[in-house]
């Protein structure tokens, strides 16, 4: 509450996913500062299923939004997702060798229908990264694909 007059947005942090606490917090802030923007950390350190049933989890963010929480986020979501994905790849690779990687690659290709882009689209991915590298160091990176390389031809 002390920061509300100075902050553009007030962050609500809880020890578990708690709609009742979030509601009381929002009401207290809005009583003193109507319309103040609120944010809620949908933390990855919560054991969501331990505290909430499936229907409450499904409506959790809608209810937060109705309370005025316009910025809802999961800290480290990408970190958790990347690590879990890499674990699955390593686990599969140890058991099924190259077949595990090819399964990942095929899943990437299939996900293009949903908007996922990787190395199979030349206008994105590595080429964009290499262009950034060029502008940063003002010369071609030695790690870039050469014209006519397998990367250039196959993707």
Tell which wins on pLDDT, 124 or 4: 4
In-domain check, residue 103:
no
105 in any annotated domain: no
Residue 155 included in any domain = yes
Q: Show the domain range for 146.
A: 117-155
List the one residue out of 45, 50, 40 whose CA is nearest residue 11: 40
Q: Provide the domain count of the chain.
A: 2
pLDDT of 6 > 70? The answer is: yes
pLDDT at 44: 76
- 119 contacts 151 by C-beta, under 8 angstroms: yes
Of the candidates 30, 39, 45, which has an alpha carbon nearest to the alpha carbon of residue 61? 39
Quick one: pLDDT at residue 58? 98
Residue 112, domain member (yes or no): no
* Token pair recorded at residue 59: 């409506």
In the chain, which residue ranges form alpha helices assigned H by DSSP?
Answer: 19-32, 48-51, 54-67, 77-96, 98-111, 126-137, 150-154
Q: What is the pLDDT of residue 56?
A: 97
- Report yes or no on 4 lying in a domain: no
Give me the DSSP letters along 123-150.
TSTHHHHHHHHHHHHSS--TTSPPTTSH
Q: Could you report the per-residue pLDDT of 94-137, keeping only the tens digit for each?
A: 999 999 999 999 998 899 899 887 664 455 555 666 666 665 66
**Predicted pLDDT at 128:** 64
pLDDT in tens, 49-105: 999 999 999 999 999 999 999 999 998 899 999 999 999 999 999 999 999 999 999
Determine, yes or no, domain membership for 22: yes
Determine the pLDDT at residue 143. Answer: 55
Residue 145 lies in a domain: yes
95 within a domain of the structure (yes/no): no
* Confidence (pTM): 0.69
Q: Using DSSP, state whether 113 is helix, strand or coil.
A: helix
Going by DSSP bridges, is the β-strand pair 37-41/69-73 parallel, antiparallel, or unpaired?
Answer: parallel
């Amino acid at each position: 509450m002390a920061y509300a007059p100075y902050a553009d947005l007030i962050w609500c942090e809880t020890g578990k996913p708690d709609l009742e606490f979030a509601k009381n917090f929002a009401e207290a802030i809005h009583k003193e500062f109507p319309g103040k923007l609120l944010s809620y950390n949908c933390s990855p350190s919560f054991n969501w299923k331990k505290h909430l049933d499936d229907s409450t989890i499904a409506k959790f963010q809608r209810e937060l939004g109705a309370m005025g929480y316009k910025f809802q986020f999961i800290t480290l979501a990408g970190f958790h997702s990347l690590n879990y994905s890499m674990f699955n790849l390593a686990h599969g690779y140890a058991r099924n060798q190259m077949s595990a990687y090819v399964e990942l690659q095929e899943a990437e290709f299939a996900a293009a229908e949903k908007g996922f882009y990787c190395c199979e689209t030349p206008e994105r991915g590595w080429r964009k990264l290499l262009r950034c590298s060029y502008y940063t160091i003002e010369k071609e990176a030695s790690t870039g694909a050469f014209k006519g390389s397998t990367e250039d031809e196959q993707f």
